[in-house]
Amino acid sequence: MLTLVHHQPRINPVSWDKLLQFGRRTRVRAARRRALARQRAVLARLDDRLLADIGLAREAQMVECSKLHWWSL
């Protein structure tokens, strides 16, 4: 006779330290992405004279400003 036994999956507890570290990393990454988005917005508004001052070509500006936000980091 065959008897089937249903086993409950084992759930490993997560330590509070690891959970806090994950929260900190998430906040840091979000802050970096917001800062990069602000920098790209400012870069997009620069005219040719200001781009020449920082040594950046219009094409490089367009490439950087067209990047998607998840390609940031």
Q: Model-level pTM?
A: 0.67
Confidence class for position 2, pLDDT limits 50, 70, 90: low
CB 32 within 8 A of CB 70: no
Whole-angstrom distance, CA of residue 72 vs CA of residue 34: 10
> pLDDT of 12-63, one tens digit each?
787 889 899 999 999 999 999 999 999 999 999 999 999 999 999 999 999 9
